[in-house]
Amino acid sequence: MSTLALAPVSAGEGGPRVPASLPAPAPVHRAVARQAALHPSRTAVRAHDGVLSYGALDQRANHLAHRLRAHGVRDRDTVAVCLESSARLLVAVLGVLKAGAAYALLDPGHVRDGSAAPFLRATGARVAVTQELFAGALGGGGRVTVLPDGTSASSTAVLPPASDVTHADTAYVLPAGGGGDRGVGVPHVVVDRLAADGRFLPVAAGDAVLQYAPAVADGTALALWAPLMAGARVVLPPPGELTPYELAALAREERAAVLRVASRHVPDLIGSGVLPGLRGLRCLVVAGDALPPAESASVAGLLPTTQVIETARL
């Protein structure tokens, strides 16, 4: 079995520039819990499988955290998560953090074809959270917790399990190495500071943030957590590809303030002619590779009042 090489990402030299006046960092799940306490009825996530308020998201994650503890998960363990982009994906990763563990996101496609196996072994995860569709590929048995469809929550309010995890502990693990047989651990403090930095994903309370980028990629954790830590609404399209027209319609329907797309989608957005209809966006975040200069210029010309952030250039 490969050994997980946890290499915490430094928020010091070479990391994000952080104003000295920022409050002390806290674990990600506690920041989200604060939003749930302040605004329990505010929408936290809207997805194809339902809508969750901050209060419902917090409670469902608390219930999952207790289920994971019953499966033997303890502080600083790693739990694998294999789910399609959905509201229950956010329940899963938040529940893992509330259980005191770190999560490792597995691409469902890579689970099906077996290519996720080296990374899964490297994490040392003894428990996985998934959906029925992928349970067999993950081995089934006692190590798999299957989340039900839908967004219904238990009527019984529970507190999260007791945990001594701090901001210095690992929040999630990314695959590393050419074969994905090693991992790099990202601490809570890095997510906290990147979210506070604002250059990577500028969000504010009440914003609708439409995520149309791969569910398993560098920076995706920030793309999920920065909105939830700020009290914004995460909008997740259904699994699969959207046409540029469908994406633009969804952005307008949700009154998205921020749209995050993968760089490979930008040529289609330009060529389809939909970008002028998205001038209501405050910010367009392009994840993945840097755009060629001509594409960057086209986007800037078509969205003259929208802040365009290419994360590869930060």
pLDDT in tens, 53-111: 999 999 999 999 999 999 999 999 999 999 998 999 999 999 999 999 999 999 888 89
Backbone φ and ψ for 128, nearest 5 degrees, come out as -130, 145
Residues 191 and 280 in one domain: no
Residues 123 and 253 in one domain: no
232, part of any domain: no
Residues 170 and 301 in one domain: no
Residues 113 and 190 in one domain: yes
Residue 15 pLDDT: 39
273, part of any domain: yes
Residues 172 and 264 in one domain: no
153, part of any domain: no
Residues 193 and 277 in one domain: no
262, part of any domain: yes
218, part of any domain: no
Residue 11 pLDDT: 33
Query: In which domain, by residue range, is 289 found?
Result: 244-313
Q: Which of 140, 173, 197 is the last residue of a domain?
A: 197
Residues 175 and 274 in one domain: no
Q: What is the pTM of this model?
A: 0.89
CA 89 to chain centre: 8
Cα angle at 107 between 194 and 240, to 5 degrees?
95
Counting the structural domains of the chain, the total is 2
Q: Which amino acid is at 151?
A: T
Which segments of the chain are extended strands (E)? 43-47, 50-53, 78-82, 102-105, 128-130, 144-146, 170-176, 182-187, 208-212, 233-235, 258-262, 283-287, 307-310
Residues 37 and 175 in one domain: yes
For every one of its 314 residues, what pLDDT tens digit does the chain have, with 9 covering 90 and above? 233 333 233 333 333 444 445 567 789 999 999 999 999 999 999 999 999 999 999 999 999 999 999 999 999 999 999 999 899 999 999 999 999 999 999 988 889 999 999 999 999 999 999 998 888 888 766 678 888 775 555 668 899 999 999 999 999 999 887 777 888 999 999 999 999 998 989 999 999 999 998 655 555 688 899 999 999 999 999 888 999 999 999 999 999 999 999 999 999 999 999 999 999 999 999 998 999 999 999 999 999 999 999 999 98
284, part of any domain: yes
209, part of any domain: no
CA distance 306 to 262: 17
pLDDT in tens, 233-260: 999 998 889 999 999 999 999 999 999 9
Residues 61 and 188 in one domain: yes
Residues 188 and 307 in one domain: no
In the chain, the percentage of residues whose pLDDT exceeds 70 is 87
Q: Provide the CATH number for the domain around residue 126.
A: 3.40.50.980
Residues 80 and 189 in one domain: yes
231, part of any domain: no
Evaluate the CA torsion angle 94, 97, 101, 106 in order and state its sign: positive
Residues 175 and 44 in one domain: yes
Cβ(129)–Cβ(79) below 8 Å: yes
